[in-house]
């Protein structure tokens, strides 16, 4: 993908060679694709209900302020894509939508061909004009746009082809290792250019070719603001948010649910069900909803109480469990009092990381350990080598005396910590914050903790009105997905961290395909990130979804797109 990570109760990356996920499943037999049902499979018209804790808020999930799993679970099979990451982290291609092939290595060139059948749900053909909009919004040349990431796209030359064409060729100015997931992916799709043009009275291709600043400003305003920040229940008109996948968005009841209905203009294999109702149900109520039949599929963050409740359902609930590309961490706001490195180190020293893992994660995953890195995961082959070299183990144990000494040296007297976390409610995060406060208060800090909804999260992180944030980055295992999280000036770099050496190393990382060189570069990056104390990794997520025995086709998705990535394959018997 134009690699992004999603923020979540998750927030949200892809490399098949780097994936070695341990996943067990009681129903891992779907052979599913991200784009629709297999042609020889029979389905029915039954609607399936999926529970998620956070309410939908944006059609443009590629905008930095909107980029969240809460939107991804709705949009996974609404928007079109050339490629996607399957449930186990492997790169796959959606040939229903189109094809692509590398036609040159020096310079790197990739030719994309959109299916002749591909149309938006309003009947408008999907064409190179949609690529013009994608390039304009993601290349980083125009600061008016606020994309979640510009990685890879910033090195692609401006489009020149006929915007009405079904083919386009991208030419890179520099090598890019993740070229096969650079654009038009499930988490970073092409968007409907014709909608923007109609609303703004512009011609996107002409604006690109002539560098029309006035027109581009209008396009950016729509892209940033008209497809994001929806108030609960206030769904834009269908012609503003068209679909090009198996489903289109139906109705939205504030605080209750949003529906996905089959897209009658979808040209691929039809869904195996009559639609998906996505209900907004707090995590601590999802097992009860499954038991009562109010939800058919749930995907909460597992905790001790939840697992105990699920166990009591016995055969009335099936489940998938495993590890995935998500990890919880603390991020510092470098524009707050935590611009002082001694204060950041003080938090790291009073932070009860092992206690958090022992009390909240090990009861769910006995093999869990402290997360020592940010760019790789414990189940990946190169994790131990990188973790051992990075220096994070120096902060494994609580050191209250050391924290107090750092505070004294810092000269900071206001020790109030305005902490935020994503997920309202989110029991595991609430418990984590309490453990942190109980420990760090002993060093002199005073925690003021707020739980935020996705919309509140976007507003607060954009404005910088916080000191420390707890959330998860959720990705897909690509090396390029990490660059926007730490690069100077990136919209996903919420804390405004900046280190020219890290910028240079990240750029080198995304340009190499040599695995041993990637490992060496990641070692260097992780060592600097620990020295600068940019973020503090806590733990890799244990993953779980559970579902009614009447439902089949549900698999555990190790990536940021969650279970609904293959919702069109789900079948529910009466």
* Three-state DSSP class for residue 51: strand
Of 357, 319, 382, 288, give the one whose Cα is nearest residue 545.
Answer: 319
**Per the structure block, which two tokens stand in for 51?**
């529970």
The predicted model gives 1-24 an average pLDDT of 38
For 403-415, write each residue's pLDDT tens digit: 999 999 999 999 9
Confidence (pLDDT) at 482: 92
CB-side neighbour CA atoms (13 Å) of 356: 30
What is the b/e burial string over 317-336, where b = at least 16 CB atoms within 10 angstroms of the residue's CB? Answer: bbbbbbbbbbbbbbbbbbeb
Confidence (pLDDT) at 19: 26
Q: Enter the DSSP assignment of 17.
A: G
Computed from CA positions of residues 254, 56, 311, 573, in that sequence, does the dihedral angle turn out positive or negative? positive
For 350-382, write each residue's pLDDT tens digit: 999 999 999 999 988 888 999 999 999 988 889
Query: How buried is residue 355: exposed, middle or buried, by Cβ count under 10 Å (0-12/13-18/19+)?
Result: middle
What is the b/e burial string over 98-136, where b = at least 16 CB atoms within 10 angstroms of the residue's CB? Answer: bebeeeeeeebbbebbbbeebbbbbebbbbbbbbbbbbb
Query: How buried is residue 24: exposed, middle or buried, by Cβ count under 10 Å (0-12/13-18/19+)?
Result: exposed
Task: Note the pTM of the prediction, 2 decimals.
Answer: 0.77
Q: Enter the DSSP assignment of 58.
A: -
Backbone angles phi, psi at 340, to 5 degrees: -80, 115
Confidence (pLDDT) at 489: 93
Confidence (pLDDT) at 90: 78
Answer yes or no: are the C-beta atoms of 507 and 513 closer than 8 Å.
no
Q: Enter the DSSP assignment of 124.
A: P
**Per the structure block, which two tokens stand in for 50?**
């999926």
The partner residues of 172 in beta bridges, in order of sequence, read 156
For 279-310, write each residue's pLDDT tens digit: 999 988 999 999 999 999 999 988 888 999 99
The enclosing H or E element of 307 equals helix 304-311
- Tell whether omega for the bond before 107 is within 30 degrees of 0, i.e. cis: yes
Answer yes or no: are the C-beta atoms of 235 and 71 closer than 8 Å.
no
Matching residue, tokens 């920040």: 229
* Three-state DSSP class for residue 573: coil
Confidence (pLDDT) at 43: 57
* Three-state DSSP class for residue 274: coil
- Does the pLDDT at position 4 exceed 70? no
C-alpha dihedral, 505 to 509 to 511 to 517, nearest 10°: 110
Q: Could you give the C-alpha distances from 19 to 187, 270, 324, 383, 477, in angstroms and in order?
A: 18, 30, 10, 11, 7
Answer yes or no: are the C-beta atoms of 228 and 59 closer than 8 Å.
yes
Query: How many other C-beta atoms are found inside a 10 Å radius of the C-beta of residue 572?
Result: 22
Euclidean distance between CA atoms 160 and 201, whole angstroms: 21
Confidence (pLDDT) at 29: 32
Answer yes or no: are the C-beta atoms of 486 and 496 closer than 8 Å.
no
Confidence (pLDDT) at 16: 26
**Per the structure block, which two tokens stand in for 359?**
């009390």
Query: How buried is residue 293: exposed, middle or buried, by Cβ count under 10 Å (0-12/13-18/19+)?
Result: exposed
- Does the pLDDT at position 531 exceed 60? yes
- Does the pLDDT at position 34 exceed 90? no
Euclidean distance between CA atoms 546 and 296, whole angstroms: 8
Euclidean distance between CA atoms 563 and 73, whole angstroms: 8
Bigger pLDDT: 162 vs 186: 162
Euclidean distance between CA atoms 555 and 553, whole angstroms: 6
- Does the pLDDT at position 39 exceed 80? no
Question: Residue 87's pLDDT band (boundaries 50, 70, 90)?
Answer: confident
Answer yes or no: are the C-beta atoms of 409 and 403 closer than 8 Å.
no
Bigger pLDDT: 423 vs 211: 211
Question: Residue 1's pLDDT band (boundaries 50, 70, 90)?
Answer: very low
Q: Could you give the C-alpha distances from 439 to 183, 338, 354, 471, in angstroms and in order?
A: 44, 18, 12, 19
Answer yes or no: are the C-beta atoms of 421 and 357 closer than 8 Å.
no
Confidence (pLDDT) at 37: 32
Answer yes or no: are the C-beta atoms of 278 and 74 closer than 8 Å.
yes
- Does the pLDDT at position 401 exceed 60? yes
**Per the structure block, which two tokens stand in for 427?**
């029991």
Question: Residue 50's pLDDT band (boundaries 50, 70, 90)?
Answer: very high
The enclosing H or E element of 49 equals strand 47-52
What average pLDDT does the structure give for the chain?
90
For 108-156, write each residue's pLDDT tens digit: 999 999 999 999 999 999 999 999 999 999 999 999 999 988 989 999 9
Least confident segment among 80-89, 147-156, 355-364, 558-567: 80-89
Residues ≥6 apart with Cβ < 8 Å to 441: 447
For 425-476, write each residue's pLDDT tens digit: 788 999 999 999 999 999 999 999 999 987 898 899 989 999 999 999 887 8
């Amino acid at each position: 993908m134009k690699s992004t990570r999603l923020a979540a109760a998750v927030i949200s990356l892809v490399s098949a060679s780097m994936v070695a996920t341990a996943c067990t499943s009681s129903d891992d037999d779907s052979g599913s694709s991200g784009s629709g049902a297999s042609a020889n499979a029979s389905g029915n018209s039954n609607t399936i209900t999926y529970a998620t804790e956070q309410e939908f808020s944006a059609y443009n999930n590629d905008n930095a302020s909107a980029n969240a799993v809460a939107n991804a679970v709705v949009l996974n099979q609404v928007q079109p894509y050339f490629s996607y990451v399957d449930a186990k982290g492997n790169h796959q291609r959606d040939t229903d939508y189109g094809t692509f092939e590398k036609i040159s290595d020096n310079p790197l060139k990739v030719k994309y061909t959109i299916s002749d059948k591909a149309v938006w749900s309003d009947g408008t053909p999907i064409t190179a004009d949609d690529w013009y909009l994608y390039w304009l919004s993601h290349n980083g040349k125009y600061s008016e746009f606020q994309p979640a990431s510009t990685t890879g796209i910033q090195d692609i030359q401006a489009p020149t082809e006929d915007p009405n064409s079904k083919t386009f060729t991208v030419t890179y100015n520099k090598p890019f290792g993740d070229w096969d997931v650079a654009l038009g992916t499930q988490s970073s799709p092409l968007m409907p250019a014709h909608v923007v043009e109609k609303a703004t009275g512009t011609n996107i291709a002409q604006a690109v070719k002539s560098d029309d600043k006035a027109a581009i400003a209008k396009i950016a305003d729509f892209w940033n603001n008209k497809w994001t920040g929806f108030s609960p229940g206030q769904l834009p008109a269908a012609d503003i948010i068209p679909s090009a996948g198996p489903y289109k968005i139906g109705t939205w009841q504030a605080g209750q649910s949003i529906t996905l209905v089959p897209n009658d203009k979808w040209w691929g294999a039809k869904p195996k069900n009559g639609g998906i109702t996505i209900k907004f149900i707090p995590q601590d109520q999802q097992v009860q909803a499954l038991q009562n039949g109010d939800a058919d599929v749930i995907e909460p963050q597992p905790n001790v109480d939840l697992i105990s409740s699920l166990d009591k359902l016995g055969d009335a609930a099936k489940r998938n469990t495993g590890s995935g590309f998500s990890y919880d961490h603390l991020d510092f706001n470098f524009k707050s009092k935590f611009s002082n490195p001694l204060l950041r180190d003080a938090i790291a020293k009073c932070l009860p990381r092992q206690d958090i893992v022992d009390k909240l994660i090990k009861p769910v995953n006995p093999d869990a350990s402290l997360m020592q890195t940010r760019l790789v995961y414990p189940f990946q082959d190169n994790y131990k080598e990188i973790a051992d070299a990075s220096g994070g183990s120096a902060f494994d144990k609580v050191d209250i005396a050391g924290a107090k000494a750092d505070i004294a040296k810092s000269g900071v007297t206001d020790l109030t910590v305005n902490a935020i976390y994503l997920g309202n409610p989110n029991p595991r995060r609430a418990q984590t914050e309490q453990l942190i406060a109980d420990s760090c208060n002993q060093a002199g800090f005073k925690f003021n903790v707020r739980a935020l909804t996705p919309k509140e999260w976007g507003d607060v992180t954009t404005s910088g009105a916080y000191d420390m944030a707890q959330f998860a980055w959720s990705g897909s295992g690509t090396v390029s997905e990490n660059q926007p999280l730490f690069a100077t000036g990136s919209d996903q770099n919420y804390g405004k961290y900046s280190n020219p050496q890290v910028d240079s190393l990240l750029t080198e990382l995304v340009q190499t395909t040599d695995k041993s060189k990637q490992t060496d570069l990641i070692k260097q990056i992780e060592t600097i990130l620990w020295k600068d104390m940019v973020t503090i990794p806590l733990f890799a997520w244990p993953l779980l979804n559970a579902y009614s025995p009447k439902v089949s086709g549900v698999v555990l998705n190790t990536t940021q797109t969650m279970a609904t990535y293959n919702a069109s394959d789900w079948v529910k018997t009466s």
